[in-house]
């Protein structure tokens, strides 16, 4: 089987499930100014270590996190096992900079895996390729390292190969000690640190050997800016199985030059930060998340939404509330997301279509006055029901629509032209059953 075929097989569950939870959690939850705080403010390692001495998320109950993800309708979750700061949430044999050596003494990766698996979610590990704590990661003169301008580090010897051994060893640990891992999310590559610079071929072979079914993102050779060779018809070994656009939904979905669909997952924050940032109150609302999830699905992509737990180990109330509201909608309308994909029909004016076989889902996001025109489905309509409650939508062309004979119309239960939608939900889904062509 060629790589693209294998990729299609591997990513089947992923492209079916559509909706995941991202969790950014680490020492940076204490300063609460985002997960890049150490780099942004050029905090030296010595100073940063005070957060390590304090780390004790005593109120963390991963079972609660997992239940929230499930209620929200999320089907997989990806936890930062280690972010760029280098702090490890598991009991790694290769460092002391880990949660089990803090006051908390807990293997938080283990707790995550157990709790999310118990709720039936698939398990993903985010793992930072960068490491601002490891002595053999280039510091002075690096593009991002917190000590990039720290004169004390000028000319300091480091052995990058030794760092790579550390990186590979830790990935091996994560993929050996925690059972079946479904997804690996590397982050990220940049100039001089890309593909083979990470001993990428060796790394990919090891990953696939340990977890033959795992899917990987493409950031062993890519970043948020460009997605790497996954975008081509001849992806290389670093390409991973899916592209990961960050804070953007690709305007037309993603295809290779020859037109093959590329699996992708757009990642989004709930406010404007990945790591816990209590002063950032710029929250998206549930309606936006729902509509963007629908948009991703309608363009053959996934969406992963981030939560940023506090240093005490709790999910900020506002974040939980948004996800619960998304969950209310998903419970009634999830069928229009899971297993759905880009529709055969063109994007209508009042919203979007998603489709699964002969089920066409009309996502009405714009209020209507009078009957709703369904462009493109003339003669194909068998039945129309509101998905949330099974309510019958009449398939009648009202008397005022005589001039538009090429359209099919649905009506909110009144056979005249006086029906309308009200904005009770951000997205009213009508399930349209199509006749075979
Ligand atoms: C970025 C950032 C990072 C975040 C990630 C999520 O590349 O470095 O902080 O974890 O994207 O997509």
Domain extent listing, the chain: 3-336, 351-434
Can you read off the two tokens belonging to residue 161?
């190969």
DSSP letters, 348-359, are PTTEEEEEETTE
Closest protein CA for atom 2 of ligand 1: 187
Atom of ligand 1 minimally distant from the CA of 247: 12
pLDDT at res. 419: 66
Atom of ligand 1 minimally distant from the CA of 83: 10
**Mutation pick for ligand 1 pocket among 26, 79, 188 (CB with most ligand atoms within 8 Å):** 188
Atom of ligand 1 minimally distant from the CA of 80: 10
DSSP-assigned letter for residue 208: H
Contact 150, 139 (CB under 8 A): yes
pLDDT at res. 319: 98
Tens place of pLDDT for every residue, the chain, 437 residues?
588 899 999 999 999 999 999 999 999 999 999 999 999 999 999 999 999 999 999 999 999 999 999 999 999 999 999 999 999 999 999 999 999 999 999 999 999 999 999 999 999 999 999 999 999 999 999 999 999 999 999 989 999 999 999 999 999 999 999 999 999 999 999 999 999 999 999 999 999 999 999 999 999 999 999 999 999 999 999 999 999 999 999 999 999 999 999 999 999 999 999 999 999 999 999 999 999 999 999 999 999 999 999 999 999 999 999 999 999 999 999 999 999 999 999 999 999 999 999 999 999 998 888 889 998 899 999 999 999 999 999 998 888 888 998 899 998 877 666 666 666 789 999 999 999 87
**Mutation pick for ligand 1 pocket among 127, 132, 187 (CB with most ligand atoms within 8 Å):** 187
Closest protein CA for atom 12 of ligand 1: 246
pLDDT at res. 315: 98
d(CA 365, CA 383): 21
Backbone phi, psi, residue 112, to 5°: -60, -50
Can you read off the two tokens belonging to residue 255?
């295809």
Closest protein CA for atom 4 of ligand 1: 274
For residue 124, the SS3 value is strand
**Mutation pick for ligand 1 pocket among 124, 223, 246, 273 (CB with most ligand atoms within 8 Å):** 246
**Distance from the CA of 312 to the center of ligand 1, in angstroms?**
22
**Distance from the CA of 131 to the center of ligand 1, in angstroms?**
13
**Distance from the CA of 123 to the center of ligand 1, in angstroms?**
19
**Distance from the CA of 187 to the center of ligand 1, in angstroms?**
7
DSSP letters, 367-417, are --BSPEEETT-TTTEEEEEETTT-PBPB----GGGTT-TT-EEEBSS-SSS
Residue found by looking up tokens 């100073």 in the block: 47
**Mutation pick for ligand 1 pocket among 274, 306, 307 (CB with most ligand atoms within 8 Å):** 274
Instruction: For the domain made up of 3-336, give the CATH fold.
Output: TIM Barrel (3.20.20)
d(CA 262, CA 241): 8
d(CA 21, CA 26): 16
CATH assignment, 351-434: 2.60.40
For residue 302, the SS3 value is strand
User: How is the chain split among helix, strand and coil, in percent rounded to 5?
Assistant: 30, 20, 50
**Distance from the CA of 329 to the center of ligand 1, in angstroms?**
28
Contacts 24+ apart (CB under 8 A), 97-101: 97/52, 97/133, 99/55
Atom of ligand 1 minimally distant from the CA of 188: 7
Nearest Cα to 348, choosing from 420, 419, 432, 418?
432
**Distance from the CA of 247 to the center of ligand 1, in angstroms?**
10
Atom of ligand 1 minimally distant from the CA of 275: 9
**Distance from the CA of 363 to the center of ligand 1, in angstroms?**
31
d(CA 98, CA 331): 38
**Mutation pick for ligand 1 pocket among 145, 224, 247, 269 (CB with most ligand atoms within 8 Å):** 224
Atom of ligand 1 minimally distant from the CA of 219: 7
- Measuring from each residue's beta carbon to the nearest atom of ligand 1, which residues come in under 6 Å? 24, 35-36, 187-188, 223-224, 246, 267, 274
Reading across the β-sheet that carries 359-364, which strands appear in turn? Answer: 351-356, 359-364, 428-434, 381-386
3-336 and 351-434, same CATH topology: no
Atom of ligand 1 minimally distant from the CA of 126: 10
**Distance from the CA of 89 to the center of ligand 1, in angstroms?**
17
DSSP-assigned letter for residue 437: -
Q: Which helix (H) or strand (E) holds 17?
A: helix 12-17
**Angle 85-90-95 from CA coordinates, rounded to 5°:** 65
Nearest Cα to 125, choosing from 20, 51, 10?
20
pLDDT at res. 2: 84
Atom of ligand 1 minimally distant from the CA of 36: 9
Atom of ligand 1 minimally distant from the CA of 224: 7
Count, residues in the chain: 437
Contact 166, 179 (CB under 8 A): no
Atom of ligand 1 minimally distant from the CA of 22: 6
């Amino acid at each position: 089987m060629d790589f693209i075929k294998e990729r299609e097989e591997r990513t089947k569950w992923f492209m079916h499930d559509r909706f995941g939870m991202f969790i950014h959690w680490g020492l940076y939850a204490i300063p609460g100014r985002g997960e890049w705080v150490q780099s942004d403010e050029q905090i030296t390692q010595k100073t940063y270590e005070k957060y390590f001495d304090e780390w004790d998320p005593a109120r963390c109950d991963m079972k609660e996190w997992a239940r929230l993800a499930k209620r929200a309708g999320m089907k997989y979750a990806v936890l930062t096992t280690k972010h760029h700061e280098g702090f490890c949430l598991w009991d790694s044999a290769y460092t002391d900079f880990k949660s089990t050596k803090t006051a908390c003494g807990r293997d938080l990766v283990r707790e995550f895996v157990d709790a999310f698996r118990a709720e039936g979610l698939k398990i993903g590990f985010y793992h930072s390729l960068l490491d601002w704590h490891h002595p053999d990661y280039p510091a002075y003169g690096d593009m991002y390292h917190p000590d990039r301008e720290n004169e004390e580090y000028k000319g300091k010897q480091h052995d990058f190969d030794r760092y790579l051994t550390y990186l590979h060893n830790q990935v091996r640990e994560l993929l050996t000690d925690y059972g079946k891992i479904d997804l690996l999310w590397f982050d990220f590559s940049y100039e001089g640190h890309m593909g083979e610079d990470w001993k990428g071929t060796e790394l990919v072979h090891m990953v696939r050997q340990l977890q033959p079914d795992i899917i990987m993102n493409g950031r062993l050779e890519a970043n948020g800016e460009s997605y790497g060779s996954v975008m081509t018809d001849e992806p290389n070994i670093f390409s991973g199985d899916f592209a990961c656009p960050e804070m953007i939904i690709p305007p037309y979905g993603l295809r290779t030059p020859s037109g093959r669909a590329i699996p992708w997952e757009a990642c989004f924050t709930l406010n404007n930060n990945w790591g816990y940032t209590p002063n950032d109150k710029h929250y998206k609302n549930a309606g936006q998340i729902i509509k963007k999830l629908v948009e991703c699905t309608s363009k053959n992509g996934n969406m992963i939404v981030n939560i940023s737990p506090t240093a005490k180990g709790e999910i900020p109330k506002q974040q939980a509330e948004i996800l619960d509201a998304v969950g209310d909608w998903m419970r009634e309308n999830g069928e229009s997301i899971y297993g759905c994909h880009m529709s055969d029909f063109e994007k209508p004016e009042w919203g979007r279509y998603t489709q699964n076989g002969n089920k066409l889902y009309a996502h009405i996001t714009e209020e209507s006055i009078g009957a709703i025109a369904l462009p493109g489905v003339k003669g194909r309509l068998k039945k129309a029901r509101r998905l949330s409650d099974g309510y019958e939508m009449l398939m009648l062309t009202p008397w005022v629509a005589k001039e538009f004979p090429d359209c099919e119309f649905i009506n909110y239960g009144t056979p005249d032209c006086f029906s309308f939608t009200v904005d009770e939900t951000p997205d009213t889904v009508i399930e349209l059953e199509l006749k075979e062509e």
